[in-house]
Chain A
C-alpha cells in the first residue's frame, strides 16, 4: 500500500500555496505542449502522426487534471483496488448482509458450530474443533494452495453475534464477525458478515496465495448467500448436471 502525506492547509499554508502555483505552471506548460504536438501530428498524418496525436491527448489530460502520468497510473491502480476490495488502503474490511427467513437463534446455532462453515464458504475446505476450544481452519485456493490456521472466539452473544480471529502466525491474519438482527415486519433476520484481513503489503501479499478473488465484497456476499440458501432451502443450488461437471458460471 502506498502512503500519502497530505499537505496540511492550516499549519503549512505557504508550502501549500507554493505547490499550488507550481501545479498551475505545469498545467499551463502541458496545455501548450499538447496544442503544439497536436498541430505537428495533424500536419504529419500517418502512423507517426497518430502516435503524436495520442501523446498530445495524454498531455491534454495532464493539463486538464493536473496529474502526471505516474499519478494517473496510481489513480487507475487505486480505482481497480477499490473495485476489487471496496476499500482504499490499510486492512481490508469487507462486509455484506442478507435477509434469511429463520430466527436469529437458528442462524446463530448453525454458525456457532463453525464445523459446518465449509458447506457455505467457497474457499474453506474444513473446520475442526480443537481440544482447547479453538478451531482449525483449512482453505484451498483456486490455484491449489492449501493453508491452515487456528482461530479463537473473541465474542459470543447467543442469538445476536459471534466474532472470531485467527491466532498468531496465520498466513492471512483475519478477524470475522457475524451479527443477527431481527428484520422489519417479521420478514426474517438480517445477517451481517464482516471480515477484516490484515495484509502486510495489501493485496500484493495475497496474490501469491491465490486469495485475491476471495478478498472481495462479492466473495463475502456469495458465502453469505450460501448461508441463506442452506438455512432456507436446506442446500446450496448448483447448475451442474453430474458430479464431475463444473458449471463455468457466466462468461
Chain B
C-alpha cells in the first residue's frame, strides 16, 4: 500500500510498504477514505520530536471503512464507516474508565521508555513517536486499529467525511481545552494560536458560553478566520510586541483583570519577538531545552488571579524560564493533556449531526495522498493561507 513515511527532518515521502494485518483479537483494519495533516505532525516534520525512526508511517487524523476485524470485535461490521480517535485506549483500565482515555495504562507498548522520561506513560498514539508506541499512522491506504471494539465510532449517513474527520483529534482537542476549565458563563477566554486546534477552541468556547473570546496569532488569515467564523476579538502578536507588551494589551482589554481562561494552543514551536525568542531558539537548537515556551509564559503572565491556564499545545520534554512565581502567587490552575477523544466523540458527533457546528470550516486545501510531501512543505510555511489539508488516498 501507499503510505506517508517520515525519513527525517523536512523529509516526508510517499513509500510503498506492506499492508497491515490483524495481530491481536481486538484489532480492525480500516481502509482510509480521508486523512488530514495535524499541526502536531509538523513537530515531527520539523525534527523536534524525539523517538522517531526513518520509515515510520505518520498521520493520526483519519477515517475510513472497516475491511477486516479481529475475533474479539463484535460491535462493528465489515463495510462500516468509522472515525478513529488518535489516542489508542483499551477502554478497561482505571484511566479509560474514568474518562481519561489519553492516559490509558495499557496501550503503549513502549511504556517503559515513557516512564523514564515522564514518570508514567500516557496512551499510545497513531503515527507518532516510538516513545508513545510507534504505531503506524493513518496517512496511508490502510491502518491497523487496536482496541477497535472501543475506539472507532460509526458515522451517521447524514454526516460527510469532511464533517466527521476532525472528530478524530482537533475538534475534541479544542473542546477539551475549554471543557476542562470549569468555565463560568460570561468568562473571557484568551486563546494563543489560531491554527486548526485554536479555531476549534474558539468555536468550543463560544458554544460553551464564553462571554468574550480573544484570539492571538501572528498570521493575518488565521486571525481573519477567528474573527469571521466565530466573532472572536483578535490580537496580532507580531504587531503587539514582546511578552510584556502582550500581557499589558490583554490587561488593557479586560480592564486590569486579565482573561479568566488562557489557552496555549501553540505548544513547543512558539514564535515571539526580540531577545526572548532568540534565547529559546538558541537553547532549542542546542537541545538544552526541547520547547520554546513563549506562549506558555505569556498565558501564565496574562491570566487572571485564580484563573486557569489550559494547554492543548504539544510539549515533549523540558522548557526553560517558566514564570513559576506568577503561577504560584496568582493561584493559577493548570489543565492539560492529550485529548480523551473517546470521551468526547459521542456528544460532539451529536453537535455535528444537529448542525450546531460544521467542522469542515477549517479546511483550506484538498489533495491526494501522493501530494503529501508538498502538503507538508506548504502547511509548515503557512503558504497559500494553508490552515488545514485533507488528503484522499
Q: Kindly specify which of A6-14, A23-31, A218-226 makes contact with the partner chain.
A: A218-226
Shortest Cβ gap from A242 to chain B (Å): 4
Residue A241, interface by CB 8 Å = yes
> Is there contact, CB below 8 Å, between A239 and B72?
no
Given contacts A248-B53, A250-B130, contact A239 B110 (CB under 8 A): yes
User: 30 A-B pairs, CB-CB below 8 angstroms?
Assistant: A187-B94, A218-B112, A222-B112, A229-B90, A229-B106, A232-B90, A233-B26, A233-B107, A234-B26, A234-B92, A236-B109, A237-B107, A237-B108, A237-B124, A237-B146, A238-B24, A239-B109, A239-B130, A239-B134, A240-B23, A241-B57, A241-B136, A242-B20, A242-B144, A247-B109, A247-B134, A249-B113, A249-B130, A250-B110, A250-B113
How many interface residues does chain B have, given as a range?
A: 35 or more
Beta-carbon nearest neighbor of A102 in chain B: B92
> Is there contact, CB below 8 Å, between B109 and A237?
yes
A235 CA / B150 CA spacing, docked (Å): 14
Map CB proximity to A onto B318-356 as digits: 1 under 8 Å, 0 otherwise: 000000000000000000000000000000000000000
> Is there contact, CB below 8 Å, between A237 and B136?
no
A70 CA / B24 CA spacing, docked (Å): 52
Q: Which residues of chain A are within 8 angstroms of B144 by Cβ–Cβ distance? A: 241-242
Beta-carbon nearest neighbor of A240 in chain B: B23
> Is there contact, CB below 8 Å, between A232 and B93?
yes
> Is there contact, CB below 8 Å, between A234 and B94?
no
A222 CA / B135 CA spacing, docked (Å): 19
How many interface residues does chain A have, given as a range?
A: 20 to 34
Q: Which residues of chain B are within 8 angstroms of A244 by Cβ–Cβ distance? A: 18
A205 CA / B110 CA spacing, docked (Å): 29
Given contacts A241-B57, A248-B53, contact A232 B105 (CB under 8 A): yes
Shortest Cβ gap from A182 to chain B (Å): 14
Residue A49, interface by CB 8 Å = no
> Is there contact, CB below 8 Å, between A234 and B146?
no
A66 CA / B19 CA spacing, docked (Å): 62
Beta-carbon nearest neighbor of A233 in chain B: B90
Shortest Cβ gap from A5 to chain B (Å): 37
> Is there contact, CB below 8 Å, between B53 and A235?
no
Beta-carbon nearest neighbor of A219 in chain B: B112
Q: Which residues of chain A are within 8 angstroms of B109 by Cβ–Cβ distance? A: 236-239, 247
Q: Which residues of chain A are within 8 angstroms of B106 by Cβ–Cβ distance? A: 228-229, 232-233, 237
Shortest Cβ gap from A217 to chain B (Å): 10
Residue A62, interface by CB 8 Å = no
Residue B202, interface by CB 8 Å = no
A242 CA / B136 CA spacing, docked (Å): 10
